[in-house]
């Protein structure tokens, strides 16, 4: 199964924008199609915030956006708010009815 | 309101078995794929297993393949995970998840599994 690589931590100030990357090995790009992102606050269950690379479920603010280029998917959070401080995980379908999560990124709002 | 309630977790000795269940409500269960994921407290998420709406497609993470079996009962709106030959590294909180568009839409609160002698 392919591995997804995320930075361990990112930070930003309120009002700024931050981008979290999610990279797959070049050999696994063909199956790097269905990318989703999850937000997890401490002690809470993960919440889906992006699916199909760039789609937002209803109720998720437009400040959250997703994109993909080559073997890297990205989650961008604009207009950073204190409540955005959380762990963020990317996930991708890996083929053969398998999925894989990235290692997670801790976002700190300074 | 969509609800997923896991049960069956607990303390079990290495090598023994445990069966997790997930009771689903608030949506048409047999329209959606379902999944299990797990998380060691303080660590990252790991997808464990998934099953399509009609059980025709099933997948497992390499770490559990051959030991865990996922199943569903659409008549009872329930999802199961049979876990055999448990190892200490299987210790984690296990989440039942409603799938959608190759993503994990709704997560249950989780049930803790501790494998220890």
Contact B50 A45 (CB under 8 A): no
Whole-angstrom distance, CA of residue A83 vs CA of residue A74? 20
Which of B57, B116, B52 has the alpha carbon at shortest distance from B79? B52
Q: Is the pLDDT score of B19 beyond 70?
A: yes
pLDDT digits (tens, 9 = 90+) for A44-70: 999 999 999 999 999 999 999 999 998
The mean pLDDT of B89-110, rounded to a whole number, is: 96
Whole-angstrom distance, CA of residue B37 vs CA of residue A90? 14
Query: Checking phi first, is residue A52 left (phi over 0); if not, alpha (psi -120 to 50) or beta?
Result: left
Contact B52 A104 (CB under 8 A): no
Which band of pLDDT confidence, cut at 50, 70 and 90, is reported for residue B36?
very high
Contact A100 B44 (CB under 8 A): no
Task: Name the residue facing A52 among B95, B101, B109 (closest C-beta).
Answer: B101
Which band of pLDDT confidence, cut at 50, 70 and 90, is reported for residue B108?
very high
Q: Does A57 touch chain B (CB under 8 A)?
A: yes
**Which of B46, B54, B98, B104 to probe the A interface (max A CBs under 10 A)?**
B104
Q: Does A96 touch chain B (CB under 8 A)?
A: yes
Q: Is the pLDDT score of A3 beyond 90?
A: no
Q: Which residues of B touch A51 (CB under 8 A)?
A: 100-103, 105
Query: So what's the pLDDT on residue A2?
Result: 60
Query: So what's the pLDDT on residue A22?
Result: 96
Those residues of chain B whose CB sits closer than 8 Å to some CB in chain A are 35, 37, 44-47, 50, 52, 57-62, 95, 100-110
Q: Does A9 touch chain B (CB under 8 A)?
A: no
Contact B45 A45 (CB under 8 A): no
Identify whether the C-beta of residue A107 lies closer than 8 Å to the C-beta of residue A21.
Answer: no
Whole-angstrom distance, CA of residue B96 vs CA of residue A7? 27
Whole-angstrom distance, CA of residue A26 vs CA of residue B78? 38
Contact B104 A100 (CB under 8 A): no
Q: Are strands B111-115 and B92-100 parallel, antiparallel or unpaired?
A: antiparallel
């Amino acid at each position: 199964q392919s591995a997804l690589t995320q930075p361990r931590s990112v930070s930003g100030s309120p009002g700024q924008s931050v981008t979290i990357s999610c990279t797959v090995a070049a050999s696994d790009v063909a199956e790097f199609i269905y990318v989703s992102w999850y937000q997890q606050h401490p002690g809470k269950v993960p919440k889906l915030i992006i699916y199909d690379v760039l789609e937002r479920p209803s109720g998720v603010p437009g400040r959250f956006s997703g994109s993909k280029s080559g073997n890297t998917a990205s989650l961008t959070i604009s207009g950073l708010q204190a409540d955005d401080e959380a762990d963020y995980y990317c996930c991708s379908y890996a083929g053969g009815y398998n999925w894989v999560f990235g290692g997670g990124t801790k976002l700190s709002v300074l | 309101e969509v609800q997923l309630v896991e049960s069956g977790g607990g303390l079990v000795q290495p090598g023994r078995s445990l069966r997790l269940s997930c009771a689903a409500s608030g949506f048409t269960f047999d329209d959606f794929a379902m999944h299990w994921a797990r998380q060691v407290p303080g660590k990252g998420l790991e997808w464990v297993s998934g099953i399509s709406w009609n059980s025709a497609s099933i997948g497992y993470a390499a770490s559990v393949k051959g030991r865990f079996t996922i199943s569903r009962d659409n008549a009872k709106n329930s999802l199961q995970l049979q876990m055999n030959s448990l190892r200490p590294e299987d210790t984690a909180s296990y989440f039942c998840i409603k799938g959608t568009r190759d993503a994990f839409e709704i997560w249950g609160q989780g049930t803790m599994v501790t494998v220890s002698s």
